[in-house]
Each structure stands twice: as structure tokens, then as C-alpha cells.
Amino acid sequence: MITIQNLKKSFRTEEVETLALNSVNLKVEDGEFVAIMGPSGCGKSTLLNIIGMLDNPTEGNYNFAGNEVSGLKESQRTQLRKGNLGFVFQSFNLIDELTVFENVELPLIYLKMNKSERKQKVRAVLERMKIAHREKHFPQQLSGGQQQRVAISRAVVTNPKLILADEPTGNLDSKNGIEVMNLLTELNQEGTTIVMVTHSDRDSHYAHRVINLFDGQIVTESQNRAIGAMV
Amino acid sequence: MLRNYLKISFRNLWKNKGYSFLNIFGLAIGITCASLILLWVEDEVSFDQIFPKKDLVYYVPTNQNYEGEWRTFYSTPGPLAKVLKDEIPEIVGSAITHSTNLLFTNGDKGINRRGRYTDADFLKMFSLEFVEGSAENAFSRPEAIVLTQKTAAELFGENTKVLNKPIRVDNKENYIITGVVKDLPQNVTFRFEWLVPFERFAEQEGMEWLAGFGNNFADTFVELAPGVDFNAVDAKVREMLPSKTEDADTYAFLHAMEDWHLRSSFKNGKKAGGRIGYVHLFAIIALVILLIACINFMNLATARSEKRANEVGVRKVLGSGKKSLISQFIAEALITATFATILSILLLVVLIPQFNILIEKQLELRLLDATHSITLLGITLICGLLAGWYPAFYLSSFKPVEVLKGVRAKIGGAAIIRKGLVVAQFTVSIVFIISTIIVYQQLQHIKSRDLGYDKENLIKMPVNGSMIENFLPIKQDMIASGMIENVALTNSNILSDGNNGSGLEWQGGTDTEDVLISFRFITPNFFETTGMKTIEGRGFSQDARKDTTNVLISESFAKLMGDGSPLGKNVLRYGETFTVIGVVNDFVYGDLYGTSDPVMYFNNPDNAFNMYVKTKAGFAFDKTLIAMEGVMKKHNPAFPFEYEFVDEAFNAKFKGERLIGNLFQIFALLAIIISCLGLFGLSAYTAEQRRKEIGVRKVLGSSVSNIVQLLSKDFMRLVLIAIAIAGPLAWWAMQNWLESFAYRIEINPWVFAAAGFVAICIALVTVSFQAIKAAIANPVKSLRTE
């Protein structure tokens, strides 16, 4: 699904140029669950943002499901992203002014899906995530775990090929964290590819493969034997 | 998608009620103000538009040359109307008219109304709508009179048929009502309440005087045939008077109906604008006020951008394109503008009656009228788009990667623009403050001008009935009341131009024929009554027969007689020689800002139109008026007692300037309110953004006043920049305005200092409210929340 070759990303300010990613090569197969780990500032999130087409690399190639992404304009990236990618953030990033239902519905609106179909899909995903009884609530009325479940609902409502999760349990207690990881595992088992950035060793054990970044480079790659060992 | 935009907009407005209020209220004030001005402009430009022949009918003024300068007069010789129609084939209709007051009585009802003696063509030119009678037959008899519906109703009652009924005029003769026409709306330049065939006036005044080309007294109107070349006809009209009089110094010309109200000022014989200048000025002011209201919206929206940044990031991640976000933010601005318009409609309903009193008009908001509703819709759209475009482009350009990571949106550029907009708002406010002060000063300056007479306790009464014959007993009885000092008669209104002429010769003068001299026919005590001073020689003898060939002259006339005393010198006026026996101080009349023409006084009240009464100070006016009314009822019983206070009439002369002054006051106030609303919101956000910094500073020992100073300093700097820009701008604008007055103030530098001081104080109060609030907050709280 993802082929990254010789990817570089540098940030330039007036005086300094910082190399955030340096010659990264990475392949993610369909249905894989990959965890990216590393210390703060190693380039994990930069890599995730490029995979998520929120940012363009400075150099190198990035192929997503047969499409070359590097060098695409913002509008073209938006088009490719729509319906193919789902995002889960550490701080949930729900829109405070929209209800649970409306937050989950939003990606479908951008896909220009008709109203009845949207309603059906949102209801189904909320049922599945066991949050349907809160559909009329606003984000501030929910617990952190519930908010993250809404965020995951929003990420999966379009049936994306790939879910990108940026420290999805970072703001949650361990009980809610485990629940979220179980949900992601379930989605992965149903065929959704997942790339997750995490600081947590425990969370990384849910992945098939763990990639370690350091100073913008992949330093180690390891396969997990016992998937879901911590459940 | 639209529903989603609307939903989020409403929720955002509701969630941030305080800022929504600032935004909506600020915009509503701007829209209300712009709407009031547009209603006024609509009324101004609608003048005379109701007449179907508005493109064919022209007024005919005259240009007259005096001492090398062309002066324009709204008066023409009597025969001009007829010769224009007879000798210029393109002119298909013409009317001579003379405007005056007549007293109408029906039983015990008596009313005095202004109207016109005119020709039958006048009825057709103005396409008057007859509710009784017809234009064809209305002037078929010499004693005919056409009334407006309102005048007919006042005399005979509503819905009474009055055709062919007699009506008593000036208590001496009967006219027959031959027609009733619909009332003219307020926006008509040449008004009347009655029309009478001009022959009637000619009979009363004597044909000889009216038939010559030498006397200018009448209004002349002409109607051109459709499709004729205006310039060719105008050229023929310009040649007409010189060809009749062999005097190239006076010619008539065509003045289009569309210019009557808005472009009626002339300078050296050429069109020099008029009210159109004010129409343009206020239209620009409406736009400026709207703009500063929109600036508030832009400023608050961009200041709040950090709050919205996360939402922008999420939406972009979820598939929203830039266009879609721009649409969303513009939709939000449009919704805010719609709320503002709704609030503004409510404000207009409340304010229009007050505004009407202020501007002395009858404006109304007609929401069912397409022009009004489309204009309001247009204003809403313009405000929404104007206020929304910048925040929309700014917010939608946020990069999701940065904003979702909590990296502060790059606000540097926006902050500069925001500061620029605050400077712009305050510049406008300060220009308004300076202008308001200068307009007020100029108005006070002219009002306190030494007029050469004392307008206080001076009452003017129109002369009618037997007031001239009974002048002496009227005067005696009034003085005997103990409340009146003196009474005098004169042919002219002391405030106005009136009777004048040129072609005189006098001893000691050169090129005297070219000088325009005003003629005042008075009773001897006119000077004592009005408080004017005889500075040389003597006044007239109380016995009018003794001074029939003697005259008094004004100081400026005396100067024209060369060195030495003018006493005993002769003045030749239209074949009669008069001897100067006294010199009176100059007085200001006509153009109250300018220099009045020299005056010649005659001891002859036979053609007096006005009686002036000087009342004694210390008596209540109502008691004095009752005493005067008693005297008038005794000596002039057939006519109602009518009067006017000269100081009030004088003040009424400054209607235009007063309007400007009042409007400037309002706009200055509104501009300040709107600017302060914006500043208040901005300072709140600045305080919020710097919460942590304030907390740290307090922990490190900073005092409340240090913090207030810190937060206010930046805003004060902006106000100082605004003062620096507004000063020269206001000076230039006001200097231009003042140059239109001959008698004017010099702009004083303290005005700028005062306006700057006021702006700083207002800004300081606005900003320090938020600054103090932030400064006295518990630092532990702000540091903990970080």
C-alpha cells in the first residue's frame, strides 16, 4: 500500500535548516499494523504527516496505493486523502461546536454523500463503537475515552484503506487506552491498514511491526510475535 | 454542506455571545448609519423626479455682470417668458410666475398660504393632476384660482367639492375655484399651495412696470419640444435679453430640472455645484462608516483565529479543500451581517423619526419597496463579503500539520494588518472629531458675527391689509403698551437681498453704473428699531414729505463716493436726483458669509412688505405678543396676526450648515463607538493571549499598573499613529470646506490637540478595562491552566 523511497524532509527558518527525515525507506503492505517509535523530535510525526498527505516531502518518492504523492498540490492531496485515509489524534481533535453525530458525519459530507446514506453509516459506526447513545452530545460532555471513540468512529466512517494514528492513547488513562487499542486491532483484523506513532511500549505490542526512528532515520525494525499480547 | 456551515456558524455565535454581540452590534451601527444616509441621499436625488416632463422643462435664471463679475439671479424680466416662446420655435411652452403669500378666508376660517401667479402653460409643464376641474379650463377666466387638495381641505373641509365656489382673497376680492390639484410631495423644488392667472397680478401691479425688460422680478419656466438640441436652444435663450435691451451685461440661460435641487450654486455665472457636494460627501461617509464596522469584524475574526485554527486543521484533514473553508467563513460572515441587518432594521424603525426631526425631512423605511429591500440586501452582502473575505482567506490558509500540533498560527502578518486596521478606524474617528469641532466653530463664528443691527428682541410681521395706512396708530398703541420700544416699516426682509439695481451715478465715483446698489424704502425710525447707527449726518425727518429727495447711504456706499464727507453729494437714480443727508453703518444681508452690497435708504414706506417691532427686554414674549396681537386686531382686523422672530429666522438660514454639524456629531460618535467596540474585543484577546506572560511577570514582582501599562502601550502607539495621519487629513478637508465661506474662522491648532486627547482618553478607557482585568487576575490560575 505504501512505498517510501529515500524520503527527506527539511525545515528551513531564516537562519537554520533542520533535517527532520533523512533518507527514509519504508514499505507498508495492505492489512499491516505498523508502529513507529522513537524519542521526541526524531521525525515520527513528520513521517506520519507525509504518509497522511498533510505535508509534502522535500526529496524522495512516496507511492500510495499506486499513486505518486510527492509533488502533488494541496488540492490534489486533499482529493486523494478523501475516503482513503482516516486520522486519529492524541488530542482527539473533535470540533467542539458539532455534536458526536455531526463530527462523525463530517468526512461523509466532504465526500458529498447523500443524507440518508450518511445517517445510516454514522449510526452503524457509532453503534459499533458503542457510543450511539451519546450521538447528540457535544465533545465537552464526553470523557476522554469516549471522545477518542468518537474520533475513531470519524476515522473509520468512510471505510478508509489506511488509518493513521498519532499517539492515540497519549491523553487517556490505561483502561481507556486499552479499549482504544483493542478497537484499532479489531479494525486491523478486518483488513484496515494501520500506521501508528507511539511512545508507549505497551501500545507498540499491538502492531505487527515496530519501526524505530532516531534523528530522522530508521534505525531498527522488528516483528512482533504475539499480536495483542497485552490484551 | 450549507446546513453544516449554518449550524456551526449559529453555534459559534451562540457560544461566543460577547464577541458575537460586539460583531453584530458594531456592524448593525454601521448598517444603520449607512441606511440613514442612503435614505437621505435617496430623498435628495429624487427631487423633481415625479414630473413626467423633467427632461424638457427648464428654469430660466439670469446672469448679470457687476464690476467684472457675473452674478446669477433667480429673477427675470416680465416679458421674457412670452418672447422666448414666440421667438424660439423649439420652445413649446413658457410661464412667467411670481411667488407670494395670499390670505384666504371662508367664513371664520382664514389661512395664509404661499403660491404662484402664473400662466396656463405652467399647469401642463408640471403635468399637474387635477382632482377637480381640468388643466385645459382652469385658467379660462381671470378671477380663477387653482388650489392644492390640502389647502382646499383646510378651507372647506375634507372631501368637499369646491369647484366653482368663490373664495375670499386678502379680504378684498373673490376668486372662483376652477380646479383642485393633488398635493405636491415634499421633494419638489418650486412649491405652491395655489395658482392664479398671472394677468391678475399684472392688473394689481400695473402693466407698465411689468412689461419692461429692465425689471427682474419673475420666475420664468420654459418647456422644450422633445428631441431638440439643448445647446442650440440655450444659445438662443442667451442671446434673447441682449437683443432686446442692447445690454450684453445681462443674459438668461436654461437651467435643467434635474439640477434645480442639487446643482443650484453658481460662481461667476458658471455652475458651481450645490447640495450635490453634500450628497457626495455623505455617500462617502456612509461607505467609510460601513468600512470601519467591517474592519471590526475582520479584526475580531483574525484575533480569534487561534481558537478556530484547530477546527480548520481538522476539517482539512477530513477532506475539506481551501475553497470549501473559504465558503464556510464567508457564510459565517454573511450570517453575522444578516443578524446585524435585522438589528439595524429595528434600530432604523426607532431612529428614523428622530433623524427626521434632525434633518427636517419625512424619510421612511419601506421594506416592501424593492429599492429599499434590495439596498438592504446589497448592504448585507457587501458587509458580509467585505468583512468575511480577509478572515476567510487567512483562516483557510492555515496548515493542518501546524495547527493540529498546536504550533501557533503564523500571526505576524495578520497582526500587522490588524494594527493597520485599528489605525484606519481611529484615523476616521479623529477626522470626524476634528471636523465636528471645526464645523461647530464656524457655525458659532457666523452666528456671533456683528451683523450691524441687533437681531435680539426683534420681530418681523408681513405687511397686509391696512398696516401702512394705520402705521402711526399701530406704532403709538404698541409703544403705549409699555412692552414695545419701536416700530418701523421697510420694503425688504432685513436678512435678505431684495430690491436692488445698477446704472446709478453719483458724485465722487467712477464707473458707477456698474455697481449693484440695494434700495431700502423705510420709515424714519427703521434705524432705531433695528439698532443701526447713523454715523454721519442725520436720519430722516418724521415727516415723510420733508425728505422725499434726500437719502441715507451705507458706509460702503460712502466709500464709493471718494474722499471727504459724502453729505450733500448727489446720487442720480433712474432720472431722479437724491441728496445724501446721512451715513448709516453697513449691515449684513443676503449671503450672511459674504460682503453685502452698498445700500441706499429712502424715506418712503408706501411699498413696505415688512413691519419690524423691537420689543423691550425683561417682558415675557407671550405677554408682548398678546399685546401686539391686540393692537393688530384693532387696526388691521381683517388679517390674522402673523409674526416671526428675526433671531430665529437668522438661525434658520444656517439649516445646511447645522445639518452638516449635526450629522458630523452623529458620525463622530458612531465612528468612535464602532472603533471602541473593536478595540475592546481586540484588547480582550490580547490580554487572553498574554495570560501566561502576565502571570509570570506578576510572580516576578510586576505591579498591576506595570501590567496595565504593558498591555495599553501597544494600543496607544496605534492611536498616536492615527492622530498623526488624521491631523493633516482633517486639516486639508476642513480647509477646503471653509474656503467656500468668505466669512470664516482660521483653523486653530488646539483643535487637533483636543481631538487627539479625546481619542487617547477614549482608547485608554476602552483598553484599560481589559488590561486591569488581566492584571488583577490571580497568576497561579493562569500559570496552572498553561
- All residues at 6 or more sequence positions from B510 whose CB lies less than 8 Å from its CB, including other chains: none
The larger pLDDT score, comparing residue B781 to residue A131, is at A131
3-state secondary structure of B248: coil
Strand runs (DSSP E) across B248-375, as ranges? Answer: 250-252, 255-256, 266-267, 270-271
- Check if the beta carbon of residue B639 is closer than 8 Å to that of residue B464: yes
Section B295-309 average pLDDT = 79
Nearest C-alpha of chain B: how many angstroms from A161?
Answer: 14
List the strands of the sheet with B458-462, edge to edge.
B484-490, B610-615, B458-462, B644-645
- All residues at 6 or more sequence positions from B187 whose CB lies less than 8 Å from its CB, including other chains: B43, B46, B47, B48, B49, B50, B261
- The CA distance from B277 to B312, in Å, is 47
Q: What is the pLDDT of residue A230?
A: 42
Q: What are phi and psi of B66, to 5 degrees?
A: -125, 125
Is B314's CB within 8 Å of A94's CB? yes
Give the distance between the most distant pair of CA atoms in chain A.
54
Section B653-665 average pLDDT = 81
Place of cell 519501526: A211
Instruction: Using the predicted structure, report yes or no on whether residue B296 has a pLDDT greater than 80.
Output: yes
What's the pLDDT band for A228 if we cut at 50, 70, 90? very low
Nearest C-alpha of chain B: how many angstroms from A22?
Answer: 19
pTM, two decimals, is 0.79
Instruction: Using the predicted structure, report yes or no on whether residue B409 has a pLDDT greater than 60.
Output: no
- The CA distance from B280 to B106, in Å, is 47
pLDDT tens-digit readout, A79-91: 888 888 998 988 8
Can you give the length of chain B in residues? 786
- Check if the beta carbon of residue B773 is closer than 8 Å to that of residue B687: yes
CB-nearest to A109 from B1, B15, B406 is B1
pLDDT tens-digit readout, A154-183: 998 998 989 999 999 988 888 889 988 998
pLDDT tens-digit readout, A196-220: 999 999 999 999 999 999 999 999 8
Residues in chain A whose Cβ is within 8 Å of chain B: 45, 49, 52, 54-55, 74-75, 78, 81-83, 87, 89, 91, 93-98, 102, 106-107, 109-111, 154
Q: What is the pLDDT of residue B406?
A: 62
- The CA distance from B80 to B119, in Å, is 13
B323-A92-B785 Cα angle (round to 5):
105
Query: A109 vs A121, B3, B664, CA distance in Å?
Result: 12, 10, 50
CB-nearest to A111 from B8, B319, B321 is B319
For B15, the closest chain A residue by CA position comes to A97
Nearest C-alpha of chain A: how many angstroms from B7?
Answer: 8
Nearest C-alpha of chain A: how many angstroms from B318?
Answer: 5
Grid coordinates belonging to B606: 408706501
> Looking at residue B502, what DSSP letter applies?
-
CB-nearest to A54 from B12, B322, B401 is B401
DSSP secondary structure string for all residues of B260-272: HTTS--EETTEE-
Among the listed residues B9, B42, B6, the one whose alpha carbon sits nearest the alpha carbon of residue B23? B9
In this predicted structure, which of A14-23, B226-235, B365-374, B399-408 has the lowest mean pLDDT? Answer: B399-408
Task: Indicate the pairing of strand B270-271 with strand B266-267.
Answer: antiparallel
Among the listed residues B555, B553, B345, the one whose alpha carbon sits nearest the alpha carbon of residue B450? B555
Q: What is the pLDDT of residue B144?
A: 95
Residues in chain B whose Cβ is within 8 Å of chain A: 1, 4, 7-8, 11-12, 15, 310-311, 313-322, 324, 399-401, 404-406
Is A87's CB within 8 Å of B317's CB? yes
Instruction: Using the predicted structure, report yes or no on whether residue B641 has a pLDDT greater than 50.
Output: yes
**Residue B643: how many CB atoms within 10 A of its CB?**
14
Place of cell 458525519: A105
CB-nearest to B318 from A49, A55, A106 is A106
Q: What is the pLDDT of residue B784?
A: 57
Place of cell 437621505: B40
Is B317's CB within 8 Å of A93's CB? yes
What's the pLDDT band for B774 if we cut at 50, 70, 90? confident
Q: What is the pLDDT of residue B682?
A: 82
The larger pLDDT score, comparing residue B353 to residue A231, is at B353
Nearest C-alpha of chain B: how many angstroms from A108?
Answer: 9
- Check if the beta carbon of residue A128 is closer than 8 Å to that of residue A157: no
Is B315's CB within 8 Å of A75's CB? no
Strand runs (DSSP E) across B211-338, as ranges? Answer: 216-224, 250-252, 255-256, 266-267, 270-271
Set of chain B residues whose Cβ sits within 8 Å of the Cβ of A78: 316, 319-321
DSSP secondary structure string for all residues of B580-602: EEEEE-----SSTTSPPPPEEEE
CB-nearest to B8 from A78, A97, A154 is A97
- The CA distance from B614 to B319, in Å, is 86
Instruction: Using the predicted structure, report yes or no on whether residue B676 has a pLDDT greater than 90.
Output: no
- All residues at 6 or more sequence positions from A227 whose CB lies less than 8 Å from its CB, including other chains: A33, A185, A205, A206, A207, A208
Section B570-582 average pLDDT = 92
Instruction: Using the predicted structure, report yes or no on whether residue B342 has a pLDDT greater than 90.
Output: yes
- The CA distance from B69 to B386, in Å, is 49
- The CA distance from B414 to A64, in Å, is 36
- Check if the beta carbon of residue B303 is closer than 8 Å to that of residue B688: no
Which secondary structure element, helix H or strand E, spans residue A225, and what is its range?
none
Nearest C-alpha of chain B: how many angstroms from A91?
Answer: 9
The larger pLDDT score, comparing residue B562 to residue B147, is at B147
Amino acid at position A70, single letter: S
Set of chain A residues whose Cβ sits within 8 Å of the Cβ of B308: none
Instruction: Using the predicted structure, report yes or no on whether residue B689 has a pLDDT greater than 80.
Output: no
State the Rg of chain B over Cα.
34
Q: What is the pLDDT of residue B407?
A: 59
- Check if the beta carbon of residue B294 is closer than 8 Å to that of residue B385: no
Question: How many CB pairs lie under 8 A apart between chains A and B?
Answer: 61
- All residues at 6 or more sequence positions from A46 whose CB lies less than 8 Å from its CB, including other chains: A9, A20, A21, A55, A216
- The CA distance from A103 to B315, in Å, is 10
pLDDT tens-digit readout, B35-69: 999 999 999 999 999 999 999 999 999 999 988 88
Among the listed residues A193, A186, A126, the one whose alpha carbon sits nearest the alpha carbon of residue A160? A193
pLDDT tens-digit readout, B619-636: 888 899 999 999 999 999
Place of cell 496505493: A65
- The CA distance from B314 to B393, in Å, is 17
Set of chain A residues whose Cβ sits within 8 Å of the Cβ of B17: none
- The CA distance from B437 to B342, in Å, is 33
Among the listed residues B526, B519, B728, B689, the one whose alpha carbon sits nearest the alpha carbon of residue B610? B526
Residues of chain B by 3-state class (helix, strand, coil), percent to 5: 50, 20, 30
Max mean pLDDT among B96-110, B522-536, B682-696 falls in B522-536
Residues of chain A by 3-state class (helix, strand, coil), percent to 5: 35, 30, 40
Grid coordinates belonging to B536: 454721519
Is B404's CB within 8 Å of A109's CB? no
Nearest C-alpha of chain B: how many angstroms from A21?
Answer: 16
Q: What is the mean pLDDT of chain B?
A: 89
Nearest C-alpha of chain A: how many angstroms from B339?
Answer: 19
Is B319's CB within 8 Å of A78's CB? yes
Set of chain A residues whose Cβ sits within 8 Å of the Cβ of B8: 95, 97-98
Amino acid at position B143, single letter: E
In this predicted structure, which of A24-38, A149-163, B663-677 has the lowest mean pLDDT? Answer: B663-677
- Check if the beta carbon of residue B460 is closer than 8 Å to that of residue B649: yes
- The CA distance from A202 to A213, in Å, is 17
B211-B214-B217 Cα angle (round to 5):
75
- Check if the beta carbon of residue B455 is closer than 8 Å to that of residue B644: no
CB-nearest to A55 from B4, B321, B401 is B401
> Looking at residue B745, what DSSP letter applies?
P
Instruction: Using the predicted structure, report yes or no on whether residue A229 has a pLDDT greater than 50.
Output: no
Grid coordinates belonging to A44: 515520527
Place of cell 373664495: B167
State the Rg of chain A over Cα.
18
Grid coordinates belonging to B92: 413649446
Grid coordinates belonging to A63: 507511492
ipTM (interface pTM):
0.80
Section B428-453 average pLDDT = 90
Q: What is the pLDDT of residue A231?
A: 38
Is B12's CB within 8 Å of A82's CB? no
Q: What is the pLDDT of residue B79?
A: 92
Is B401's CB within 8 Å of A49's CB? yes
Q: What is the pLDDT of residue B777?
A: 79
B320-B321-B322 Cα angle (round to 5):
125
- Check if the beta carbon of residue B760 is closer than 8 Å to that of residue B429: no
Q: What are phi and psi of A213, to 5 degrees?
A: -105, 145
Set of chain B residues whose Cβ sits within 8 Å of the Cβ of A55: 399, 401
How many Cα atoms are found within 13 Å in the side-chain-facing hemisphere of A34? 24
Q: What is the pLDDT of residue B269?
A: 92
